[in-house]
Chain A
């Protein structure tokens, strides 16, 4: 508490540190952002909500909202469990940990386009997955994983591809965060005979909170932005919000409705970010104790 008050008296420093980034963002994005937002409300005769009605009147829009939320809700928990497991595995220092870490970080380097390409090559009728199944004699002919008549398998392929594509992001943030945790805490807990799960729950995870918070915020926002891989795998059968933004903007050349859809994505992201910031806030007392 006292520490916080001390910092408040020296207000100029934090603002000095923040200023460059704020000015930079404002100069670069302020005007385009303003124009982009304006577009969604501007009609030939001034203010209008016609674009919003247009957007809401489109059945695909609601399908896209549902799919985006569903995909995010399914993918993110899987990714966090997987990324934490992976980080724990690394922390246990297996032989070749450096190599493992590298391979696990590699999907980060793959662009959306290449990721969509390779997962399509895996799941398509004559793809690698079916090839392997046939080679191993499990099935005689391939299974139609991407058939639009099997929404479940369609959805699962998108989940697998998204988990693959973006778990590395969480992993790297978590690993970077783990680096900064003093080993003493964990070792002390171990000395006192705390079980693995107890140490995870009471020592590691609380100390990782800042990293997990950041990973959650970034990952959720980026999950709302995903669409290229899903589009490669499912064609038009699994619309996602950002894909619809592109469709309105490029295919339909309607920047106004595209802006409206984009604002929906923005709104969803902001709501989620606020929730995360509040729910995972590091109590100042904890911050000061360290």
Chain B
């Protein structure tokens, strides 16, 4: 390889490389460093930016943009973000004093941590909308442990059971699938596992799964009647023993499942508990083969948890009057019914349920109504007033599950250890208990 030979070939190639790279500069310059608008709002001034953690899948996002366009006359950019970047964007914009987002949409767990000074006080707006018939529980959540209201209840959801109709033959005799007890539920899962030779039940125990809500909102209330104040009680120990039995007939692959609809649709499991929005795609083309039923009941009642979506305005956001108009438009009963029909989240305002629901959503709507309407229903709320430390409460339940059920550690010792962490958390936040625990205003909740 002679030295004078190499540059000859390579210079041409270098030139071509340089040319290719050189395209980037003008391109970047051409769009002024700003970029191409990706939010589907059409661009231009006067449009509102609506950032949300909900309806992120492509299809749901498209459908919701349509709903928005029909409900509100002005242009709205609907932008989605994962919860992490969502919080980052709000916090950095508010603290830099340059807020560019007009409206926020998210679950209670996304919005409540921002009530530490990142949100506008919406007490007056909620007062104006009070005729819509919001549930008192929801308004309490929206206050996030203060006496002001920080977000407007936007939509709701809950968790139910989904199962293949073919599993009904394993139902213990005399059991009503719409009114199961946890013991019958266990026998059902055991019989199904025995018949097929493999566990048939799935629980969302993956990293983003909502299994902790099964503990907080379903098992604890149903077995102990409470959530925090009975965390270490004897009833709680019984409950954990029950869960270990249930886990024995639960597919072990549940530990990396976030959305039960996938293993259900794939036939990996045939019965599961999960969030309605995470079950809705399971029936697919064959809704006739599926049932959706209320969660079982325990000795203390049928514990269930509501998921609340809210709308909030970041502190110092521009154009707040028009944003409030947008909130009102989204609080219209017809708009919310449309969200149910297309994206499977239930209304928070009173109104008629549309009669033309898609089959899978109809299955859910019936199960949800049966669950909330059952005589022994016991509503549990997600933690109220913990703010930024909301996630730590979830972690306590997840860690307890890992220790007791997956690692087979001593129940009592685990509950004592995790209970101590929980107490520290409650003391730091100085919050009173929330439903189903007895609410005593001004008194810090005590782990029992």
Q: Given A235-B207, A253-B87, A253-B388, A124–B253 Cβ distance below 8 Å?
A: yes
Which residues 377-407 of B sit at the A interface, judged by CB distance below 8 A?
388-392, 394-395, 398-399, 402, 406
The count of chain B contact residues (Cβ–Cβ below 8 Å) is 30
Cβ A236 vs Cβ B253 within 8 A: no
Residues of A within 8 A of B1 (CB): 182-184
Cβ A148 vs Cβ B83 within 8 A: no
Residues of A within 8 A of B389 (CB): 252-254
CA distance A53 to B175 in the complex (A): 51
Which residues 204-244 of B sit at the A interface, judged by CB distance below 8 A?
205-207, 209
Residues of A within 8 A of B267 (CB): 126
CA distance A234 to B389 in the complex (A): 26
Which of A126, A148, A182, A246 meets B406, CB within 8 Å?
A148
How far in angstroms is the closest Cβ of chain B from A250? 4
Which of B82, B266, B390 meets A253, CB within 8 Å?
B390
CA distance A29 to B206 in the complex (A): 34
Residues of A within 8 A of B391 (CB): 251-253
How far in angstroms is the closest Cβ of chain A from B251? 8
Cβ B256 vs Cβ A232 within 8 A: yes
Residues of B within 8 A of A250 (CB): 82-84, 87
Confirm or deny: A84 has a beta carbon within 8 angstroms of a beta carbon on chain B. Answer: no
Q: Which of B252, B256, B398 has the most CB of A within 10 A?
A: B256
Confirm or deny: A226 has a beta carbon within 8 angstroms of a beta carbon on chain B. Answer: no
Which of B82, B113, B256, B268 meets A235, CB within 8 Å?
B256
Cβ B252 vs Cβ A253 within 8 A: no
Cβ B253 vs Cβ A146 within 8 A: yes
Q: Given A125-B268, A182-B1, A231-B207, A251–B395 Cβ distance below 8 Å?
A: yes
Confirm or deny: A149 has a beta carbon within 8 angstroms of a beta carbon on chain B. Answer: yes
Confirm or deny: A237 has a beta carbon within 8 angstroms of a beta carbon on chain B. Answer: yes
Q: Which of B82, B252, B268 has the most CB of A within 10 A?
A: B252
* Majority-rule SS of A interface residues: loop
How far in angstroms is the closest Cβ of chain A from B90? 12
Q: Given A125-B268, A126-B267, A148-B406, A235–B206 Cβ distance below 8 Å?
A: yes
How far in angstroms is the closest Cβ of chain A from B213? 14
* Majority-rule SS of B interface residues: helix
Confirm or deny: B255 has a beta carbon within 8 angstroms of a beta carbon on chain A. Answer: yes
CA distance A233 to B388 in the complex (A): 29
Residues of A within 8 A of B399 (CB): 60
Q: Which of A144, A231, A252 has the most CB of B within 10 A?
A: A252
Cβ A246 vs Cβ B84 within 8 A: yes
Residues of B within 8 A of A249 (CB): 84
Confirm or deny: A147 has a beta carbon within 8 angstroms of a beta carbon on chain B. Answer: yes
Residues of B within 8 A of A236 (CB): 205-207, 255, 398, 402
Q: Given A126-B266, A231-B207, A253-B87, A237–B255 Cβ distance below 8 Å?
A: yes
Cβ B268 vs Cβ A148 within 8 A: no
CA distance A231 to B398 in the complex (A): 16
Which residues 132-148 of A sit at the B interface, judged by CB distance below 8 A?
141, 144, 146-148
How far in angstroms is the closest Cβ of chain B from A180? 11
- 0/1 string, A209-233, CB within 8 A of B gives 1: 0000000000000000000000111
Confirm or deny: A76 has a beta carbon within 8 angstroms of a beta carbon on chain B. Answer: no
Q: Given A147-B252, A182-B1, A183-B1, A253–B406 Cβ distance below 8 Å?
A: no
Which residues 166-218 of B sit at the A interface, judged by CB distance below 8 A?
198, 205-207, 209
CA distance A125 to B253 in the complex (A): 7
CA distance A120 to B267 in the complex (A): 17
**Chain A residue nearest in CB terms to B262:** A124
**Chain A residue nearest in CB terms to B399:** A60
How far in angstroms is the closest Cβ of chain B from A71? 17
Which of B198, B207, B209, B252 meets A148, CB within 8 Å?
B252
**Chain A residue nearest in CB terms to B198:** A141
Q: Given A124-B253, A126-B266, A235-B256, A253–B395 Cβ distance below 8 Å?
A: no
How far in angstroms is the closest Cβ of chain B from A112? 14
How far in angstroms is the closest Cβ of chain B from A77? 27
CA distance A6 to B207 in the complex (A): 58
How far in angstroms is the closest Cβ of chain A from B280? 21
Residues of A within 8 A of B207 (CB): 231, 235-236
Residues of A within 8 A of B256 (CB): 120, 124, 146, 232-235
How far in angstroms is the closest Cβ of chain B from A99? 20
How far in angstroms is the closest Cβ of chain A from B351? 34
Which residues 220-270 of A sit at the B interface, judged by CB distance below 8 A?
231-237, 246, 249-254
A-B contact pairs, 6 of them (CB 8 A): A60-B399, A124-B256, A125-B251, A148-B406, A252-B395, A253-B113
Q: Which residues of B contact A (CB under 8 A)?
A: 1, 82-84, 87, 113, 198, 205-207, 209, 251-253, 255-256, 266-268, 388-392, 394-395, 398-399, 402, 406
A231-B207, A235-B255, A253-B113 known; 14 new pairs, CB 8 Å cut-off, are A60-B399, A149-B252, A184-B1, A232-B256, A233-B256, A234-B255, A235-B206, A246-B84, A250-B83, A250-B84, A250-B87, A253-B388, A254-B388, A254-B389
